[in-house]
């Protein structure tokens, strides 16, 4: 059991983000994993923080969070309800959250019980026949929603895939200026195995000598200002590729990885924050906060969606 004195209050981080001043993290509580990056950003693992301390800070600061999620075609039927319902119990408990649900079938958004201070905003989007396009265009839709709505109501934005479900605490400890997630399949691998885009014609291209971590696009976030920059830049590089007839290996995820190589995230989330239960036991994973749902790619990624 750590005493409060053991918890080291951080100063302004190297990147000068004011929000880091409030952080209380114990970097030495975990000796089995890397708890900070080479540029000084914390990597958040179970045991490094006291959830209540963060909650208190953010309640006092009247922090409000926007969670964006794309539920297009059958993805809405299969996944949306589980994500929304489970988030009432685990996601940013005690803090106001607005869910921005982007969908081509607004009438199908399920009516669910929402905890106090929570609301769902349905954002109609046009259907794209290729799932790759849906995935890439979300960068544009998120940017536009930040401009039209989010910036007026929320300090922070988190962007999540719909095919996942909360299973454990996922709270205000994740909030920071820009936040990236370690991919569950790659955090224990070497850089040469990372699935960055390797096509020099793509704007997402990364050379063998580049890259810090392989980040998963299923969760990213930060202040609205940072998420606006992330989504705007990725949208532009994706469109640049389209004009050249190129598509990056993992679409928006490749572009996001390139972005975070060039603009280091100020906080990194361990794979506890999006775990694939198909990866069996690993001693470093003490808690599964959000887990992948079964993908059903064959049924979901056909043209009729
Ligand atoms: C897979 C995942 C994809 C993508 C890929 C990158 O496990 O399902 O969405 O992230 O890894 O290699």
> Which ligand 1 atom sits nearest the alpha carbon of residue 253?
10
> Which ligand 1 atom sits nearest the alpha carbon of residue 216?
10
185 CB near ligand 1 (under 6 Å):
yes
Identify which of 31, 21, 10, 23 has the alpha carbon closest to the alpha carbon of residue 54.
23
Residue 92 CA to ligand 1 centre (angstroms):
26
Residue 161 CA to ligand 1 centre (angstroms):
12
Q: Is 253 a catalytic residue?
A: yes
Residue listed under structure tokens 């960068």? 139
Strand-pairing partners, residue 197, are: 205
Instruction: Report domain extents, the chain.
Output: 61-300
154 CB near ligand 1 (under 6 Å):
no
CATH number of 61-300: 3.90.550.10
Give me the catalytic one of 119, 253, 299, 304.
Answer: 253
Q: Which residues contact 235 (CB under 8 A, 6 or more apart)?
A: 136, 139, 140, 143
Residue listed under structure tokens 């009432």? 88
What is the spatial distance between Cα 191 and Cα 196, in angstroms, rounded to a whole number?
Answer: 9
Tokens in use for 33? 């994993």
Alpha helices in the chain (DSSP H): 51-60, 74-75, 81-90, 131-145, 151-153, 224-243, 251-262, 297-300
250 CB near ligand 1 (under 6 Å):
yes
User: pLDDT of the chain along its 305 residues, tens only?
Assistant: 333 333 434 443 433 343 444 458 999 999 999 999 999 999 999 999 999 999 999 999 999 999 999 999 999 999 999 999 999 999 999 999 999 999 999 999 999 999 999 999 999 998 888 888 888 899 999 999 999 999 999 999 999 999 999 999 999 999 999 999 999 999 999 999 999 999 999 999 999 999 999 999 999 999 999 999 999 999 999 999 999 999 999 999 999 999 999 999 999 999 999 999 999 889 999 999 999 999 887 778 765 44
Residue 265 CA to ligand 1 centre (angstroms):
20
Q: Are strands 8-9 and 24-25 parallel, antiparallel or unpaired?
A: antiparallel
Alpha helices in 3-61 (DSSP H): 51-60
CA 115 to chain centre: 22
Tokens in use for 284? 């470093």
Tokens in use for 270? 């361990």
Contact 305, 74 (CB under 8 A): yes
Residue 43 to residues 160, 174, 205, Cα–Cα distance (Å): 19, 10, 25
Three-class secondary structure of residue 170 per DSSP: strand
């Amino acid at each position: 059991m750590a005493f409060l004195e053991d918890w080291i209050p951080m100063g302004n981080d190297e990147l000068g983000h004011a929000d880091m001043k409030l952080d209380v993290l114990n970097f030495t509580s975990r000796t089995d994993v890397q708890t900070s990056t080479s540029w000084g950003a914390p990597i958040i693992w179970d045991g490094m923080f006291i959830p209540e301390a963060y909650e208190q800070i953010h309640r006092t600061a009247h922090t409000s969070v926007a969670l964006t999620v794309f539920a297009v075609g059958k993805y809405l039927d299969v996944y949306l309800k589980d994500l929304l319902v489970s988030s009432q119990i685990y996601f940013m408990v005690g803090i106001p959250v607005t869910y921005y649900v982007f969908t081509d079938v607004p009438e199908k958004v399920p009516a669910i019980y929402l905890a106090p201070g929570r609301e769902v905003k349905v954002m109609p989007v046009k259907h794209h026949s290729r799932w790759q396009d849906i995935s890439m265009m979300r960068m544009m839709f998120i940017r536009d929603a930040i401009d039209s709505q989010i910036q007026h109501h929320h300090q922070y934005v988190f962007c999540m895939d719909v095919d996942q479900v909360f299973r454990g605490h996922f709270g205000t400890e994740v909030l920071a200026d820009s936040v990236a997630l370690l991919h569950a399949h790659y955090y224990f691998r070497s850089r040469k195995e990372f699935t960055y885009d390797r096509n020099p014609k793509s704007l997402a291209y990364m050379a063998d000598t580049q890259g810090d971590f392989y980040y998963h696009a299923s969760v990213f976030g930060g202040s609205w200002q940072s998420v606006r920059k992330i989504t705007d830049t990725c949208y532009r590089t994706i469109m640049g590729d389209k004009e050249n007839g190129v598509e990056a290996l993992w679409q928006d995820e490749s572009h996001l990885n390139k972005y975070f190589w060039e603009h280091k995230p100020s906080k990194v989330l361990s794979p506890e924050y999006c775990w694939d239960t198909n990866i069996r036991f690993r001693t470093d994973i003490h808690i599964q906060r959000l887990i992948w749902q079964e993908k059903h790619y064959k049924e979901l990624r056909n043209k009729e969606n």
